[in-house]
Amino acid sequence: MQSSLTEPPAAEQLPADSRQPREHTKESKQDGKLGLFRLLLKDRFATASALILVVVGLTALIGPALMGDLATKQNLLFANKAPFTVAHGWEYFLGSDSLGRSMLARLVVASRTTLSVAVPAVAVALVIGSLWGVWAGYHRGWRENVSMRIADVIMSFPSLLLAVVVLYVFSPSAANIVLILALTRIPIYLRTARAESAELQSRTFVDAARTFGAKPSAIIVRHVIPVVLPTLLTLATLEFCYVMLAESSLSFLGIGIQPPDVSWGLMVSQGRQYLQTAWWLSIFPGVAIVVTTIAANVLAAWLRIATDPAQRWRLALPRKRLIARIPVKETQP
Amino acid sequence: MLIYLRKRIVSSALPLVVVIVGVFALARMTGNPASLYLPLNATQQMRDDFTARNGLDQPLLVQMADYFGGVFRLDFGQSLRTGQDAAAMALRAFPATLQLAATTMVLAVLLALVVGCWAALKPNGIADRISSFVSMAAASIPDFWLAIVGIWVFAITLGWLPTSGVSGASAWVLPIATLLLRPFGVLVQIVRGSMVSALSEPYIKLARSRGAGELRVVTHHALRNAAAPALTVAGDLTVGLVNGAVVVETIFGWPGIGKLMIDSILQRDFAVLQAAVLLTALAIFALNILIDMGYALLDARVRPVTVKA
C-alpha cells in the first residue's frame, strides 16, 4: 500500500514536532497507555471519577439482572417509605415510591436506560461529526464552507426545542431520542475536528505524505485522525454530560423515555407531585445524574491535560505544586 | 463596518429561514388536527369541512406559500384551540420570557464580570474557588432538578417563596436562580481566563508603571480587552437560555413563550407554534446582529476580517 510505504519517513523526518503522534510502534503505544494509567492514579480526583464511571457502567450492565423484578414489584403496604433505614429490608434502604416499589432497584434499572441513550448518542455524534469535520477541514474550500453553514444552522436554534418538535412528530422511542440528540450535537465535533484538521493539513508531515503520493483518504486516516483523536475523545467525555442532561430534560418534559420504561430524568419528573410527602422520589435520581456528570466532567478536565503533550508534565507534579503552577485554568470550549 | 454587518446579517438570516421552513414541515407531519379538535362521532363531512376551512387539504407547498405570504402581511392565522390570533398569543407570551431572560443575562454578565475579575486577580482565592465550583455545577446539574430542589427547600420546607406563578418579586427568585446557573458558570470561567491573559499583557504593565490604580487598570485597560470573548459566548448562551426557559416555565407555571410552545406542540396548534418559533428565531437573529455590532465596536481587528475564515 502506498500510504504505509510513505509513512515511516514522514514520521522520522520530524522528530521535533511535539504534536506528531508518537504511537507509531507497538512498544511506544503500550508505554504511552501505561504512562497514562500511572498518571491517572496520581490524581486523586481523576481516579475517583474514573472509578465512579466504572461503577455506574457496571451497574447499568449487570445491575438490572441482579435486581430481578424488584423494580416493578408493587407492595402497597410499603408505599412511600422513607429512606436510610433497613427496617423494611435492604431493598428499601433508599425508600420506596407511591406504589411501594424499591427506589434502589428502580434507580439501578433506570441507570441502564439512561446510559443506553447517552452512550450511543455520543458515539454516533462523535463518529459522524469527527469524520465529517476532518474531511471538511482537510479539503477546505466549498466543502468546508457548506459544512460550517450547516453547523451554524443547527447550532443557532435551541436544541431542546428542536428535539421537542421532532420527538413529537416521530414517536419518542429510545432510538429516536438517540438520533435527535446525536443530530443536535454533531456540529460540536464538526467544528472542532474541522479547525484542527484545517490547521494540520498545512503541516509538514502531511505535506510530506502528500508529496509521496498518498491519497487524501489515506492521509486523513493515517496522519490527521490520530493527532485529532485525543481532543475529540476529551470533547466526547464532556459531551456525555450534556447528552445525559438533555435526555433527562426531555424525559422530564414528557417527550423522552416513556413509562413503563424508566430513566433518571423521568423518575425526577414522576416524583415531582409527591415532593411535599416523599422528597426522595425526585431528589435521589437527580443526585445520581449529578454524581455521574460531575465524574465525567472531572475526568474530561484531566484528559484534556493528560492528552496534551505540552501540558502533560503538570500531572507528574504533586498536586499542591500543580495548583500553584497553573495560572490559567482551561476554559470550556 | 456596513459591509461587515451586511455579511453577518446574510449569514445569520440563512439559519432563520431554514429553521422556519423546517419547523413548518415538521409541524405538518404531527398528524391531522381534525381528529383532535372534532368530537369522536364527527362525520366525514365535518372532518372534510374542518380540513378545508383551515387549508389543510392543500398541497404542502401551497400551504407553505400561504404561510410565508401571511408572515409578510403579519398574519399568522388563528389558534386552532382558542380561535385567537396566533401572533397576538405569541406576542402576549413574549414579554414574560423576555423579562426573565433579560434579567437573568444581565445578572449573569454582571456577576461573572465581578467574580471573574476578582478570581483573576487572586488565583486560588475565595472568588476563584467559587468560580470553579459554580462552573462545575453548571455543567453537571440538570436545571429541572435544581428547580425542584429549590422548590423543595425554599417553598415547601422553609415556606419562604411561592412554588409557582408570577405574583410579586418573590416569585422571580427561584426561576431566575435556576436559569442563572448555566450562563454564570460558563461566563465566569471565560472572564477569568481572558482577564488573566489580559493582565499579563505589556500594556497593563505600562498602565501600572504610569501610576494607574488597580481598579482603573482592571476596568479601563484589562476588561475592555477581555470583554470580547465573553460577549461572543454570551450570544451562544442566550440560545441555550431558551432551552432553560422551556423547562423553567413549565415547572414554575411561567406564562412565557417556552410554555406556549410546549403547549401548542402537545395540542397540535400549528399556527401558534409557528408564530412562537418565528418570534424566538427572530429574537435570536436580532440578538446575534447586536452582538456582532458590539463585537466590532470592541475589537477593531474584527472589522476588516470577512466571515470567510
pLDDT tens, residue by residue, A77-98? 666 666 766 666 666 666 777 7
A116 within some domain: yes
**What are the beta bridge partners of residue B85?**
B78
Per-residue pLDDT tens over the stretch A129-167 = 988 888 888 888 888 888 888 887 777 777 777 777 777
CATH of the domain at A89: 1.10.3720.10
Query: Per-residue DSSP letters for A228-241?
Result: HHHHHHHHHHHHHH
Confidence (pLDDT) at A124: 93
Window B:101-140, CB contacts with A under 8 Å: 123-124, 132, 135-136, 139-140
Q: Decide if B158 touches A, using CB distance below 8 A.
A: no
Quick one: pLDDT at residue A30? 55
pLDDT at A320 over 60: no
Q: List C-alpha distances in Å: A106 to A66, A83, A178, A186, A195.
A: 12, 14, 22, 32, 43
Cα of A212 to nearest chain B Cα, Å: 29
In a domain, A11, yes or no: no
**A260 preceded by a cis bond (ω within 30 of 0):** yes
Residue A47 lies in a domain: no
What is the reported pTM?
A: 0.76
Q: How high is the pLDDT of residue A125?
A: 92
Chain A residues with CB under 8 Å of B262 CB are 164, 253
Quick check: B148 and A275 CB within 8 A? yes
Which of A45, A149, A161 is the best residue to mutate to test the B interface, defined by the most B CB atoms within 10 Å of its own CB? A161
Chain B (42-81) residues lying within 8 Å, Cβ to Cβ, of chain A: none
Q: Which domain holds residue A118?
A: 63-311
- The three cell numbers of residue B129 are 474557588
Report the pLDDT value the prediction gives residue B166, as an integer from 0 to 100: 66
Looking at residue A2, its pLDDT comes to 40
Query: What pLDDT is recorded for position A128?
Result: 92
Count structural domains, chain A: 1
Q: What is the pLDDT of residue A18?
A: 45
Cβ atoms of residues B116 and B125 within 8 Å: no
Q: For residue A108, what pLDDT band results from cuts at 50, 70 and 90?
A: confident
**Burial class (CB within 10 angstroms; exposed 0-12, middle 13-18, buried 19+) of A73:** middle
- Check if B236 contacts A (Cβ < 8 Å): yes
Tell me whether residues A164 and B12 touch, CB distance under 8 A.
no
In a domain, A162, yes or no: yes
Residue A326 lies in a domain: no
Q: Which residues of chain B have pLDDT under 50?
A: 305-309
Contact B74, B263 (CB under 8 A): no
Nearest to A156 among B189, B247, B284 (CB): B284
Q: Which residue has the higher pLDDT, A122 or A157?
A: A122
Quick check: A316 pLDDT over 60? yes
Give the percent of chain A with pLDDT over 70.
Answer: 72
Residue A189 has pLDDT above 70, yes or no: yes
* Contact predicate B199/B176, CB 8 Å: no
The verdict on residue A214 lying in a domain is yes
Greater confidence (A328 vs B301) lies with B301
The per-residue DSSP string of A166-215 comes to HHHHS---HHHHHHHHHHHHHHHHHHHHHHHHHHHTTSHHHHHHHHTT--
Interfacial B residues in 265-294 facing A (CB < 8 Å): 265-266, 273, 277, 280-281, 284, 288
Give residues with Cβ within 8 angstroms of B41, minimum separation 6. Answer: none
Q: What is the CA radius of gyration of chain A?
A: 23
Contacts of B87 (CB under 8 A, 6+ apart): B74, B75, B76, B275
Nearest CB to A289: which of B18, B142, B284? B142
| Residue among A178, A196, A177 nearest A188 (CA) | A196
Tell me which chain B residues have a C-beta less than 8 angstroms from the C-beta of A330: 193
B144/A248 touch (CB, cutoff 8 Å), yes or no: yes
- Closest alpha carbon within chain A to B239: A158
Which residue in chain B is spatially nearest to A152 when comparing CA positions?
B15
Question: What does DSSP assign to residue B153?
Answer: I
Question: Cβ contacts (< 8 Å) between A49 and chain B: which residues?
Answer: none
Cα–Cα nearest to A153, from A176, A187, A130: A187
pLDDT band at A17 (very low <50, low <70, confident <90, very high): very low
- Let me know if residue A14 belongs to a domain: no
Contacts of B141 in chain A (CB under 8 A): 290, 293
The per-residue pLDDT for range B229-250, each reduced to its tens digit, is 777 777 778 777 877 888 888 8
In angstroms and rounded to an integer, the radius of gyration of the C-alpha atoms of chain B is 24
Is A301 among the domain residues?
A: yes
**pLDDT (average), residues A233-243:** 85
- Contact predicate B277/B285, CB 8 Å: no
Angstrom distances, CA of residue B175 to CA of A163, B141, B263: 22, 15, 19
